[in-house]
């Protein structure tokens, strides 16, 4: 068994937009969404994930799909805004998507390009697709995944479903500004439920599937692993699934706890050969691999080799994918270990361990006291206010998790994430000036300001320190936590 020992902090609000070349030959796809970005905040920037209103409807599933929920409210977001309209004169957009329901009468899901009154959208419904501003529709069961492509060449718009052209209409006008999809736009409440595997594009031209193969069938390899590669799966069993390669007749399945063993087909990692129509494998369930269940705090690796004895390139050895079961202890601390840029009024937060119901927080300035404390302040939520911090101080904190009446205490060490045996100690080096950090090299302070700050820090260090576990706010929080814990 291999436990996760690295520490990872969730840095979402500073991520804007990036693209990646997906094909080796020209032209190339660039991706907007492929299972790793969540549109949860407007601070992600004006060019990616333009979200209007609170995110009550979008999430990424354990399988890496972007799930748009039918919440009966009006929401809108764009994935990507191309400011230069000239780039969109010849462009190709492709998505793999399914639509389960729709409850509105206005726009449901839109993939395409905009140029004001001459805009062309691809509206998606459970039983058909519609190119708006035209009478062109195509009946298709969208409750199952399909690959949709919109192509803009010099004069026309072409729509492809699973590489087959189904709609072609002239396009007049210019000024396209963005690509992606809108969800629930307009004055009328309009919602639907969809799942998106990916959304890719290229502005190098308008290409048919023959000229630029679709993103999902780049080779004979298995693709679209679910859970997504590197995902955290919060359960003790899982159904692994994938999209079969273009030439596959059957699949060789490998699952194990060691990357090298799975990569080299060593030991008992080979779990069998399955037919083409069985592109899934159950793990952690009686009668299958790991019949006693998956172990919290463990990373599992898996690989799919596509097989077709009639093809000279068979088998197509797949990449090694992984997923992790959360530990029982808390993880993803925020601020992260050794964090900087921490405000004096910081609120600590973390992700609850697998199955945990109650948390005990220990916070202080002495490493040994925090590390050896037998009990902390009970807390029923995954955030904690330690009270106002002092300048020029280093603080440590630990979170102990409780499952029913059993409390889990981590050992001492350097990392909060994935313990035991890693510890729950999180140092925060608070070399603070006023309410913000001063980082060497960021800016120069004037000699007068430097003397003033140094004097203030010396005076602060002589002042008696206030306890951090006995504030009225914390006592109230502890009382609420105990009430919440009694409900379990």
Does 157 score more than 50 pLDDT? yes
pLDDT at 209 > cutoff 70: yes
pTM, rounded to two decimals: 0.47
Tokens representing 352? 């609850």
Mean pLDDT score, 396-424: 47
Selected residue with higher pLDDT from 76 and 246: 246
- Count of other CB atoms within 10 angstroms of residue 242: 22
The percent of residues above 90 in pLDDT, for the chain, comes to 16
- CA distances in angstroms from 269 to 157, 226, 242, 260, listed in the order given: 48, 18, 18, 10
Cis peptide before 176 (omega within 30 of 0): no
Give the model confidence (pLDDT) of 274-299 as tens digits: 998 899 999 999 989 999 999 999 99
Q: What is the 3-state secondary structure (H, E, C) of 92-109?
A: EEEEEEEEEEECCCCCCE
Instruction: Return the higher-pLDDT residue of 122 and 159.
Output: 159
**Sheet strand arrangement including 223-226:** 223-226, 238-243, 280-283
Q: How many CB atoms lie within 10 A of CB 310?
A: 7
Predicted confidence (pLDDT) at residue 120 exceeds the cutoff of 80: no
Q: Would the pLDDT of 479 be above 50? A: no
Closest CA to 324 of 31, 20, 94, 6: 6
Gap between the Cα atoms of 4 and 299, Å rounded: 6
Q: Domains along the chain?
A: 31-217 (2.60.120.200), 223-325 (2.60.40.10), 331-402 (2.60.40)
Q: Which residue has the tokens 């630029």?
A: 212
Question: Do the beta carbons of residue 403 and residue 428 sit within 8 Å?
Answer: no
Mean pLDDT of 351-370: 82
Tokens of 357: 């119901």
Q: Tell me how many degrees the CA angle 126-128-133 measures, rounded to the nearest 5.
A: 120
- What's the pLDDT score for residue 369? 82
Contact between 206 and 151 under an 8 Å Cβ cutoff? The reply is yes
Is 63 in a helix, a strand, or coil?
Answer: coil
State pLDDT tens for residues 313-339. Answer: 889 999 999 999 988 888 888 887 777
- Structure confidence at residue 358 (pLDDT): 81
**pLDDT tens track for 14-73:** 222 222 333 334 566 776 666 555 544 443 333 344 444 555 566 777 666 777 776 555
- State what percent of residues in the chain have pLDDT above 70: 56
């Amino acid at each position: 068994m291999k436990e996760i020992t690295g520490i990872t902090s969730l840095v979402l609000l500073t991520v804007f937009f990036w693209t990646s070349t997906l094909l080796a030959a020209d032209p190339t796809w660039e991706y907007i969404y492929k299972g790793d970005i969540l549109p949860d905040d407007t601070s992600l920037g004006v060019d990616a994930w333009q979200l209007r209103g609170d995110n009550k409807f979008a999430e990424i599933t354990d399988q890496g799909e972007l799930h748009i929920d039918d919440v009966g409210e009006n929401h809108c977001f764009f994935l990507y805004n191309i400011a230069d309209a000239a780039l969109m004169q010849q462009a190709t957009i492709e998505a793999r998507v399914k639509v389960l329901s729709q409850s509105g009468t206005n726009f449901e899901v839109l993939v395409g390009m905009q140029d004001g009154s001459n805009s062309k959208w691809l509206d998606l419904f459970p039983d058909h697709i519609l190119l708006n501003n035209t009478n062109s529709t195509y009946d298709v069961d969208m409750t199952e995944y399909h690959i949709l492509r919109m192509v803009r060449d010099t004069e026309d718009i072409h729509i492809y479903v699973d590489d087959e052209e189904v709609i072609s209409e002239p396009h007049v006008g210019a000024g396209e500004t963005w690509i992606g999809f809108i969800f629930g736009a307009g004055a009328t409440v309009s919602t639907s439920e969809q799942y998106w595997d990916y959304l890719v594009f290229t502005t190098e031209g308008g290409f048919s599937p023959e000229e630029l193969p679709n993103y999902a069938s780049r080779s004979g390899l298995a693709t679209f692993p679910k859970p997504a590669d590197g995902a955290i799966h919060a359960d003790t069993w899982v159904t692994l699934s994938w999209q079969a390669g273009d030439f596959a007749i059957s699949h060789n399945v490998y699952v194990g706890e060691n990357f090298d063993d799975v990569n080299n087909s060593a030991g008992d990692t080979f779990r069998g050969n399955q037919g083409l129509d069985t592109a899934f494998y159950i793990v952690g369930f009686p009668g299958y691999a790991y019949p006693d269940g998956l172990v919290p705090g463990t990373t599992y690796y898996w690989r799919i080799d596509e097989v077709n004895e009639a093809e000279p390139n068979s088998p197509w050895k797949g990449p090694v994918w992984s997923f992790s079961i959360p530990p029982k202890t808390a993880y993803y601390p925020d601020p992260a270990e050794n964090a900087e840029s921490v405000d004096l009024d910081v609120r600590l937060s973390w992700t609850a361990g697998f199955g945990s119901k109650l948390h005990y927080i220990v916070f202080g300035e002495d490493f040994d006291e925090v590390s050896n404390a037998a009990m902390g302040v009970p807390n029923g939520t995954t955030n904690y206010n330690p009270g106002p911090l002092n300048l020029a101080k280093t603080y440590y904190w630990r979170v102990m998790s409780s499952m029913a009446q059993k409390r889990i205490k981590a050992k001492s060490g350097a990392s909060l994430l994935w313990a035991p045996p890693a510890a729950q100690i999180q140092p925060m080096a608070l070399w603070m000036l006023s309410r913000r950090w001063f980082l060497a090299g960021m800016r120069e302070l004037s000699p007068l300001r430097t003397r003033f700050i140094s004097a203030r820090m010396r005076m602060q260090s002589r002042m008696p320190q206030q306890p951090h576990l006995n504030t009225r706010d914390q006592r109230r929080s502890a009382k609420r936590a105990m009430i919440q814990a009694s409900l379990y």
